[in-house]
Chains A and B, each alone.
Chain A
Amino acid sequence: MMLAEKQTMDLIYQRPESLSDAITHYCPGCTHGIAHRLVAEVIDEMGLREKTIGVAPVGCSVFAYNYFNTDYVEAAHGRAPAMATGIKRVLPDRTVYTYQGDGDLASIGMAEIMHVAARGENITVIFINNAIYGMTGGQMAPTTLPGMRTTSSPNGRDVELSGYPIRMSEMLATMDGAGYIVRRSLHNPANIRKAKKAIRLAFETQEHGLGFSMVELLSSCPTNWKVTPNEALTFIADHMVPVFPLDDFKVHPAIANLKV
């Protein structure tokens, strides 16, 4: 009787094929897991798994290559866009994307990210902006908010001493080589759904050969922000979104009209 009932059940939720079954090292409440899943779902839905090469950064997602069930390489700190360029140029028919945090992309890798966009390199970047260096234990990042306490801005980020947060999406949208640049957030289900659609459109941009694409994802770091996971999500909505507005900064007309 029980067996018969089981057989009629539909499987409605499972791990995407593009994710491996490894247990991640991410902290409880961290949104990396959500971002990984969204990327993997999009790769699955677009049927790209067997032609995708990911480029992992240095930072908390340094082990991304263990968590995705696609080919992967692990770059030096900040150099993922350069490595992705090398891969894409010798294998132009593959899908190539980088997965980078704010320290990796907006600090040490600033030159590489700006130039990969300027060249209109046909790759996709998933940019995790959680306003802090997670892996090294909570130091100030280029996207740390004014007044935000970190281990290297213990009294709060003083803009007189250490400047202002960098808005990467706005800056990259000025590049002629960019085809799709948007910022989304992972702080609640509605925004997560919007983030997934943006990731889909970013990969569509690449598959249609429309140039550089990037989705910036506002993300949480409860461990280093020293708050609970729930408080971290509220912090994104209340404090990060006002500094980093959720918007489409550049969308190629062909992508704007795309139905997915």
Chain B
Amino acid sequence: MAKQLLKGNEAFAEAAIRAGCEGFFGYPITPSTEFLEHMAKRMPELGRAFVQAESEVAAINMVYGAVCTGKRAMTASSSPGISLMMEGISYIAGTEVPAVIVNVMRGGPGLGNIAPSQGDYYQMVKGGGHGDYFPIVLAPASVQEAIDQIGLAFDLADKYRSVVHVIVDGNIGQMMEPAELPPMRPLPKDVPEWAVNGAKGRAARSLSSIYIDPKDEEVTNIRLVRRWMEIEKNEVRYTEYFLDDAEIAVIGFGTAGRVASSAINQAREEGIKVGLFRPITLAPFPKKQIEDLSKHVKSILVVEMNSGMMLDDIQSIVQGRVPVEFFGRMGGVTPFPDEILDEIRRVNTNEAVINGQVRAEWLDRLEKLIEEGK
């Protein structure tokens, strides 16, 4: 299949269909709505299920019901809608059934705005819903990567009977760029041995997230943690750019990582030895790789479109071996490459120090930038 000019959200929806999604349940919310619109058009013509639910709360519980039958099903939403889904996501995790959830993130907290953001890092990566569970979180940085990772998300969800989040910011959902869609996969004929689909010729089954005896719940928790450790061992994904001889490592995911790569190209032209480490799985997080990186570079610059949420994770891995600096834009503002280039230059000229003031110093610089009209 050749490359086409594709709009992010529509392409992701089509990728999900081609990965064998048989049920889509959603509620309109900017900047993810085109996902739902594409599903509204395509799913019925393929004889697959589409429901525009009355709320995100209902949508995720429709997904919950559909995936309990062993079929691939999903939803897509944006930050405030994902908050509403957290109840259902916890139940899905507790029932150990696979589900794929796409979050096209926007500025917040609260109603916030409809501009691109990465402010849901904590909510997505650290669980978000109640109870002990670990979602897999994929963070693509382009339309093509998102297309590929939606197929991967369904495979991982099935393999580990896990919740898989694909998180992109509004930029990637809304932009058009050349990308190639995968071929249509045939729908699986086999029904998983745990699925609830009518007890024809077998003993009745039930699926539930309730374990009324704490001892049984603990056994379930242990199983979930063990499964998570297996995921951590097998499924870490990341990409590296110009890191071989780098003295400064920029770490950023999604759009922030992509914008940073433009800044790195320019910095390299200026002779600055800088490279990019871009985590693709935010959970499992590439801990080992970042730890190794911190042993080879002089400093690390974390770039995000939030207040430094991944920064906290990186600091806990680097443990003060090298200074970790931060630059972020918030509230739906996407950083420009020249802003990140200035940060790279700053870290390159003024030796970064460890003083525990990373966030405070960044805020001072950011306020100055805003005063300058950036």
Contacts and interface: CB of A to CB of B under 8 A. Distances in A.
A203 interface: no
B91 A86 contact: no
Interface stretch (B46-54, B285-293, B339-347): B46-54
A68 B58 contact: no
A20 B66 CA distance: 25
A71 B67 CA distance: 14
B134 interface: no
A83 B54 contact: no
A75 B197 contact: no
B25 to A, nearest CB: 6
B199 A50 contact: yes
A76 B87 contact: yes
Given A83-B62, A85-B51, A74 B201 contact: no
B159 interface: no
A177 B291 CA distance: 59
Interface stretch (B68-76, B119-127, B140-148, B362-370): B68-76
A86 B25 contact: yes
A47 B69 CA distance: 21
Contacts of B210: 62, 74
B318 interface: no
A72 B201 contact: no
Contact of B198 (A20, A53, A62, A111): A53
Interface in A55-108: 55-56, 62, 65-66, 68-76, 79, 82-87, 89-91, 94-95
A54 to B, nearest CB: 9
A119 B91 CA distance: 24
B144 to A, nearest CB: 29
Contacts of B64: 75-76, 79, 82-83, 86
Contacts of A87: 65-66, 68-69, 196
A153 interface: no
Contact of B61 (A83, A90, A114): A83
B206 A86 contact: no
Contact of B204 (A56, A70, A86): A70
Chain A interface category by residue count: 35 or more
B66 A68 contact: no
A224 interface: no
Interface centre among B59, B63, B88, B196 (most CB of A within 10 A): B196
B88 A73 contact: no
B23 to A, nearest CB: 5
B322 interface: no
B208 interface: yes
Contacts of B49: 86, 89-90
Contacts of B91: 75-76
Contact of A91 (B55, B69, B208): B69
Nearest to B202: A50
Contact of A89 (B55, B66, B196, B198): B66
B57 interface: yes
Contacts of B201: 50
27 contacts: A50-B198, A51-B198, A53-B197, A56-B208, A70-B198, A70-B199, A70-B204, A71-B197, A71-B199, A71-B204, A72-B204, A73-B208, A74-B207, A75-B64, A76-B91, A83-B65, A84-B65, A85-B62, A86-B49, A86-B51, A86-B64, A86-B68, A89-B51, A90-B23, A90-B49, A90-B71, A115-B58
The 8 closest A-B pairs by CB, nearest first: A86-B65, A74-B208, A83-B65, A82-B61, A86-B62, A89-B49, A86-B66, A79-B61
Interface of B: 22-23, 25, 49, 51, 53-55, 57-59, 61-69, 71, 73, 87-88, 91, 196-201, 204-210
Given A83-B62, A87-B65, A112-B61, 13 more contacts: A56-B208, A71-B197, A71-B204, A75-B61, A75-B64, A79-B88, A85-B65, A86-B73, A90-B49, A90-B66, A111-B54, A115-B54, A115-B58
